[in-house]
Chains A and B, each alone.
Chain A
Amino acid sequence: MADASDEDGVPSRAEDVVFWSWIGVLAVGLAYMIILPLTGR
């Protein structure tokens, strides 16, 4: 079981990495899927 005291604190660096990695995947994926068809490929 998770230690409840850990969950009340500030997010750790690992959670920052997880969050921004998912944002990055979404941003890169969307940019790729929008820009590439605009080139007519």
Chain B
Amino acid sequence: MRPIRDNALSLAFGALFVLALAGQSIAGWFDNNEQLAEHGQPAESFGAFVTSSEFIVDVAENWQSEFLQFFLFIAATIWLVQRGSPESKKPGDEGLGSDEEQLVGAHAHSDSPSWAKARGIRQMIFSNSLLLVMGAVFALSWLAQSLAGTVVMNAENADHGMPPITWLEYLVSPDFWNRTLQNWQSEFLAVGSMIALSIFLRQRGSSESKPVGAPHRETATASE
């Protein structure tokens, strides 16, 4: 059971993701069929719903905002600090850090990843790989939201006898930006709250908190 205990955090969140997505698909299917009934249209099968843009646009708009949240958080914490927050580096530590601090190139250890020992483009890619992947997932899920949103809007337009719109027209539509910004505002509020509240509040035992007895002004403890 050691492998399960050692990987419990990602396994638990993987299970929660599957359960929540299954729940969303079932609730969304019922909701979609209620709306179809209100318009005098026949109900859709579950399979038809989960392979429709109605389902995808709702999933994608949440994916993009979550990955934007982490993308910005990772990027911002390179250059910005919050004194007293365990989510932040210490004031004065802003920036990319020296090769010695980052254990790259000549300063890499024998057990460092090979791309950290490498120089040039490989080291640059690996040094920014977390940001690159989170940013790519954000951009691609935002693209998915826009593509699925265009299909949904054109289906609604057809129901109301209106002409279809192009993808570029959808990108400047109120529907696209309403879906986008309603998710962004909550992500930014939550991240800001986590940074600010963790200055004075604690959770004993959590890696997201300072030790209970740590001074309020103490910032990062892990980088000591």
Identify the A interface with B (CB < 8 A).
Answer: 6, 8-10, 12, 14-15, 18, 21-22, 25-26, 29-30, 32-34, 36-38, 40-41
B65 at interface, CB cutoff 8 A: no
Whether A30 contacts B141 by the Cβ 8 Å rule is yes
Known interface pairs A34-B143, A36-B51. Does A14 touch B63 (Cβ–Cβ under 8 Å)?
A: no
Closest Cβ of chain A to B114, distance in Å, is: 11
Whether A21 contacts B6 by the Cβ 8 Å rule is no
B56 at interface, CB cutoff 8 A: yes
Whether A38 contacts B147 by the Cβ 8 Å rule is yes
Known interface pairs A8-B111, A9-B111, A22-B14. Does A33 touch B60 (Cβ–Cβ under 8 Å)?
A: yes
Q: How far is the CA of A22 from the CA of B70 in the complex (A)?
A: 16
Provide the residues of chain B in CB contact with A6, threshold 8 Å: 6
Identify the B interface with A (CB < 8 A).
Answer: 3, 6-7, 10-11, 14, 17, 51-53, 56, 59-60, 63, 111, 137, 140-141, 143-144, 147-148, 150-151
Report which of A10, A18, A25 forms a contact with B11, defined as CB distance below 8 A.
Answer: A18
Whether A34 contacts B14 by the Cβ 8 Å rule is no
Known interface pairs A30-B140, A33-B60, A33-B144. Does A41 touch B151 (Cβ–Cβ under 8 Å)?
A: yes
Whether A36 contacts B56 by the Cβ 8 Å rule is yes
Provide the residues of chain A in CB contact with B60, threshold 8 Å: 33
Q: How far is the CA of A33 from the CA of B13 in the complex (A)?
A: 21
Report which of B10, B52, B53, B141 forms a contact with A22, defined as CB distance below 8 A.
Answer: B10
Closest Cβ of chain B to A32, distance in Å, is: 8
B140: nearest residue on chain A (CB-CB)? A30
Closest Cβ of chain A to B152, distance in Å, is: 9
Known interface pairs A8-B111, A36-B51, A40-B151. Does A21 touch B14 (Cβ–Cβ under 8 Å)?
A: yes
Whether A37 contacts B11 by the Cβ 8 Å rule is no
Interface centre among A10, A32, A37 (most CB of B within 10 A): A37
